[in-house]
Structure 1
Protein backbone atom coordinates (compact mmCIF):
# COMPACT_ATOMS: atom_id res chain seq x y z
CA UNK A 1 0.00 0.00 0.00
CA UNK A 2 1.26 3.48 -0.81
CA UNK A 3 1.93 5.43 2.38
CA UNK A 4 3.55 8.66 1.13
CA UNK A 5 5.50 10.26 -1.66
CA UNK A 6 9.17 9.63 -0.90
CA UNK A 7 10.59 12.15 -3.38
CA UNK A 8 9.98 13.82 -6.72
CA UNK A 9 12.58 13.39 -9.47
CA UNK A 10 13.16 16.24 -11.92
CA UNK A 11 15.59 16.18 -14.83
CA UNK A 12 18.36 18.65 -15.62
CA UNK A 13 21.10 19.03 -18.22
CA UNK A 14 24.72 18.09 -17.50
CA UNK A 15 26.73 20.84 -15.85
CA UNK A 16 23.72 22.64 -14.32
CA UNK A 17 24.36 21.65 -10.70
CA UNK A 18 25.67 25.05 -9.56
CA UNK A 19 22.65 26.88 -10.99
CA UNK A 20 20.35 24.28 -9.39
CA UNK A 21 22.05 24.75 -6.02
CA UNK A 22 21.60 28.52 -6.24
CA UNK A 23 17.89 28.12 -6.98
CA UNK A 24 16.88 25.22 -4.73
CA UNK A 25 19.10 26.10 -1.75
CA UNK A 26 19.30 29.90 -1.90
CA UNK A 27 15.97 30.88 -3.47
CA UNK A 28 13.73 28.06 -2.18
CA UNK A 29 15.58 27.62 1.13
CA UNK A 30 16.02 23.86 0.76
CA UNK A 31 19.05 21.97 2.07
CA UNK A 32 21.22 19.92 -0.25
CA UNK A 33 21.48 16.34 0.95
CA UNK A 34 24.22 13.91 -0.05
CA UNK A 35 23.55 11.37 -2.77
CA UNK A 36 24.82 7.82 -2.28
CA UNK A 37 28.28 7.56 -3.91
CA UNK A 38 27.16 5.28 -6.76
CA UNK A 39 24.41 7.79 -7.64
CA UNK A 40 26.58 10.87 -7.06
CA UNK A 41 28.86 9.68 -9.87
CA UNK A 42 25.95 10.29 -12.28
CA UNK A 43 25.80 14.02 -11.42
CA UNK A 44 22.79 15.97 -10.29
CA UNK A 45 21.86 16.95 -6.75
CA UNK A 46 19.20 16.28 -4.12
CA UNK A 47 17.42 18.77 -1.87
CA UNK A 48 15.18 18.49 1.18
CA UNK A 49 13.04 20.65 3.43
CA UNK A 50 11.10 18.90 6.19
CA UNK A 51 9.74 15.66 4.69
CA UNK A 52 9.87 17.01 1.11
CA UNK A 53 12.68 15.82 -1.16
CA UNK A 54 13.39 16.92 -4.73
CA UNK A 55 15.97 14.96 -6.69
CA UNK A 56 17.51 16.61 -9.74
CA UNK A 57 19.00 13.99 -12.06
CA UNK A 58 21.09 14.53 -15.15
CA UNK A 59 19.44 13.63 -18.44
CA UNK A 60 21.60 13.49 -21.58
CA UNK A 61 18.94 14.79 -23.98
CA UNK A 62 17.28 17.10 -21.44
CA UNK A 63 14.14 19.00 -22.35
CA UNK A 64 12.04 20.52 -19.54
CA UNK A 65 8.48 19.24 -19.27
CA UNK A 66 5.97 21.83 -20.43
CA UNK A 67 3.08 20.71 -18.21
CA UNK A 68 4.35 18.20 -15.62
CA UNK A 69 5.38 19.69 -12.27
CA UNK A 70 5.54 19.06 -8.54
CA UNK A 71 3.02 20.96 -6.42
CA UNK A 72 4.72 22.27 -3.29
CA UNK A 73 2.60 23.47 -0.38
CA UNK A 74 4.01 26.56 1.30
CA UNK A 75 3.14 28.82 4.22
CA UNK A 76 2.90 32.61 3.83
CA UNK A 77 2.69 32.37 0.04
CA UNK A 78 3.03 36.14 -0.44
CA UNK A 79 6.37 36.19 1.39
CA UNK A 80 7.49 33.08 -0.48
CA UNK A 81 6.64 34.67 -3.84
CA UNK A 82 8.55 37.81 -2.82
CA UNK A 83 11.56 35.66 -1.88
CA UNK A 84 11.61 34.02 -5.30
CA UNK A 85 11.22 37.38 -7.04
CA UNK A 86 14.13 38.79 -5.01
CA UNK A 87 16.24 35.88 -6.30
CA UNK A 88 15.32 36.68 -9.89
CA UNK A 89 12.74 33.95 -10.42
CA UNK A 90 9.55 34.74 -12.32
CA UNK A 91 6.31 34.26 -10.37
CA UNK A 92 3.10 33.74 -12.32
CA UNK A 93 -0.04 33.81 -10.15
CA UNK A 94 -2.96 31.56 -11.06
CA UNK A 95 -6.42 31.75 -9.49
CA UNK A 96 -7.97 28.67 -11.07
CA UNK A 97 -7.70 26.23 -8.13
CA UNK A 98 -10.63 26.74 -5.72
CA UNK A 99 -9.67 27.01 -2.06
CA UNK A 100 -6.02 27.82 -2.78
CA UNK A 101 -3.69 30.67 -3.62
CA UNK A 102 -1.04 29.50 -6.02
CA UNK A 103 1.63 30.51 -8.46
CA UNK A 104 3.96 28.84 -10.90
CA UNK A 105 7.67 29.43 -11.40
CA UNK A 106 10.52 27.77 -13.28
CA UNK A 107 13.91 26.66 -12.03
CA UNK A 108 17.04 27.77 -13.95
CA UNK A 109 16.80 24.83 -16.39
CA UNK A 110 13.10 25.30 -17.15
CA UNK A 111 11.40 22.83 -14.80
CA UNK A 112 7.93 24.07 -13.87
CA UNK A 113 7.08 24.24 -10.15
CA UNK A 114 3.74 24.98 -8.52
CA UNK A 115 3.59 26.62 -5.08
CA UNK A 116 0.25 26.65 -3.29
CA UNK A 117 -1.36 27.47 0.03
CA UNK A 118 -4.90 26.58 1.11
CA UNK A 119 -7.13 29.51 2.01
CA UNK A 120 -9.68 29.54 4.81
CA UNK A 121 -13.35 29.54 4.03
Structure 2
Protein backbone atom coordinates (compact mmCIF):
# COMPACT_ATOMS: atom_id res chain seq x y z
CA UNK A 1 0.00 0.00 0.00
CA UNK A 2 1.04 3.66 0.22
CA UNK A 3 4.44 4.18 1.81
CA UNK A 4 5.43 7.84 1.35
CA UNK A 5 4.82 11.00 -0.64
CA UNK A 6 6.93 11.16 -3.80
CA UNK A 7 6.27 14.81 -4.78
CA UNK A 8 3.82 17.68 -4.79
CA UNK A 9 3.00 19.41 -8.05
CA UNK A 10 2.02 23.04 -8.46
CA UNK A 11 1.26 24.90 -11.66
CA UNK A 12 3.09 27.80 -13.24
CA UNK A 13 2.66 29.87 -16.40
CA UNK A 14 4.72 28.98 -19.46
CA UNK A 15 8.13 30.61 -19.83
CA UNK A 16 8.57 31.48 -16.14
CA UNK A 17 11.39 29.11 -15.19
CA UNK A 18 13.67 31.98 -14.19
CA UNK A 19 11.15 33.23 -11.61
CA UNK A 20 10.64 29.68 -10.31
CA UNK A 21 14.40 29.18 -9.89
CA UNK A 22 14.77 32.53 -8.11
CA UNK A 23 12.03 31.69 -5.59
CA UNK A 24 12.41 27.96 -4.98
CA UNK A 25 16.16 27.83 -5.56
CA UNK A 26 17.58 31.15 -4.39
CA UNK A 27 15.10 32.09 -1.64
CA UNK A 28 13.91 28.70 -0.34
CA UNK A 29 17.27 27.02 -0.96
CA UNK A 30 16.00 24.03 -2.93
CA UNK A 31 18.10 22.28 -5.56
CA UNK A 32 16.86 22.00 -9.11
CA UNK A 33 16.27 18.40 -10.16
CA UNK A 34 16.70 17.65 -13.89
CA UNK A 35 13.49 16.60 -15.62
CA UNK A 36 13.80 13.43 -17.69
CA UNK A 37 12.75 13.35 -21.32
CA UNK A 38 10.07 13.43 -22.59
CA UNK A 39 8.85 15.43 -19.58
CA UNK A 40 11.49 18.17 -19.99
CA UNK A 41 10.00 19.25 -23.32
CA UNK A 42 6.71 20.10 -21.55
CA UNK A 43 8.32 22.95 -19.61
CA UNK A 44 8.23 23.51 -15.89
CA UNK A 45 10.90 23.02 -13.24
CA UNK A 46 11.48 20.39 -10.54
CA UNK A 47 13.07 21.03 -7.15
CA UNK A 48 14.29 18.86 -4.30
CA UNK A 49 15.61 19.45 -0.79
CA UNK A 50 16.18 16.34 1.31
CA UNK A 51 12.98 14.29 1.17
CA UNK A 52 10.96 17.22 -0.22
CA UNK A 53 10.21 17.11 -3.93
CA UNK A 54 8.23 19.90 -5.54
CA UNK A 55 7.39 19.89 -9.24
CA UNK A 56 6.17 22.93 -11.12
CA UNK A 57 4.30 22.08 -14.29
CA UNK A 58 3.15 24.45 -17.00
CA UNK A 59 -0.60 24.94 -17.13
CA UNK A 60 -2.46 26.91 -19.80
CA UNK A 61 -4.56 28.74 -18.92
CA UNK A 62 -2.78 29.18 -15.63
CA UNK A 63 -4.64 29.55 -12.34
CA UNK A 64 -2.70 29.66 -9.03
CA UNK A 65 -3.51 27.36 -6.11
CA UNK A 66 -4.74 29.86 -3.52
CA UNK A 67 -6.15 27.37 -0.98
CA UNK A 68 -4.56 23.98 -1.75
CA UNK A 69 -0.86 24.14 -0.89
CA UNK A 70 2.28 22.27 0.09
CA UNK A 71 3.31 22.61 3.75
CA UNK A 72 7.05 22.33 4.34
CA UNK A 73 8.81 22.00 7.69
CA UNK A 74 11.65 24.39 8.42
CA UNK A 75 14.27 24.31 11.19
CA UNK A 76 15.07 28.04 10.86
CA UNK A 77 11.62 29.53 10.35
CA UNK A 78 12.50 33.09 11.42
CA UNK A 79 15.51 33.16 9.11
CA UNK A 80 13.44 31.92 6.19
CA UNK A 81 10.72 34.50 6.92
CA UNK A 82 13.40 37.22 6.82
CA UNK A 83 14.78 35.89 3.51
CA UNK A 84 11.31 35.97 1.98
CA UNK A 85 10.64 39.51 3.21
CA UNK A 86 14.05 40.67 1.96
CA UNK A 87 13.22 39.20 -1.46
CA UNK A 88 9.88 41.06 -1.54
CA UNK A 89 7.52 38.22 -0.65
CA UNK A 90 4.73 38.56 1.92
CA UNK A 91 4.90 36.51 5.12
CA UNK A 92 1.54 35.93 6.83
CA UNK A 93 2.00 34.42 10.31
CA UNK A 94 -0.78 32.16 11.58
CA UNK A 95 -1.20 30.85 15.14
CA UNK A 96 -4.22 28.59 14.59
CA UNK A 97 -2.31 25.28 14.69
CA UNK A 98 -1.49 24.39 18.32
CA UNK A 99 2.12 23.42 18.96
CA UNK A 100 3.35 24.79 15.62
CA UNK A 101 4.74 28.09 14.39
CA UNK A 102 3.77 28.70 10.82
CA UNK A 103 3.34 31.25 8.12
CA UNK A 104 2.02 31.42 4.59
CA UNK A 105 3.63 33.03 1.60
CA UNK A 106 2.99 32.93 -2.14
CA UNK A 107 5.38 31.92 -4.88
CA UNK A 108 5.86 34.35 -7.79
CA UNK A 109 2.82 32.85 -9.51
CA UNK A 110 0.40 33.23 -6.59
CA UNK A 111 0.53 29.61 -5.38
CA UNK A 112 0.07 29.41 -1.60
CA UNK A 113 3.02 27.93 0.35
CA UNK A 114 2.93 26.99 4.06
CA UNK A 115 6.11 26.94 6.15
CA UNK A 116 5.97 25.44 9.63
CA UNK A 117 8.11 24.52 12.61
CA UNK A 118 7.47 22.76 15.90
CA UNK A 119 7.24 25.19 18.77
The TM-score range, normalised by the shorter chain, is over 0.9
TM-score, structure 2 normalization: 0.97
1:64-99 deviation line (CA, Å, top 9, x unaligned)? 122100000000211111111112111110010111
Deviates more, 1:82-91 or 1:6-15: 82-91
Instruction: Provide structure 2 residue ranges, at least 5 long, that are not aligned to the other structure.
Output: none
Q: Distance in 1 between matches of 2:73 and 2:15?
A: 29
TM-score, L = length of structure 1: 0.96
Q: How many residue pairs align between the two structures? A: 119
Report runs of 4+ in structure 1 exceeding 3 Å deviation.
none
Measure the CA separation in 1 of the matches of 2:51 and 2:65: 24
5+ residue gaps, structure 1: none
Query: Could you say which residue in structure 1 is the equivalent of 2:114?
Result: 114
Match of 1:48 in 2: 48
Q: Distance in 2 between matches of 1:76 and 1:29?
A: 12
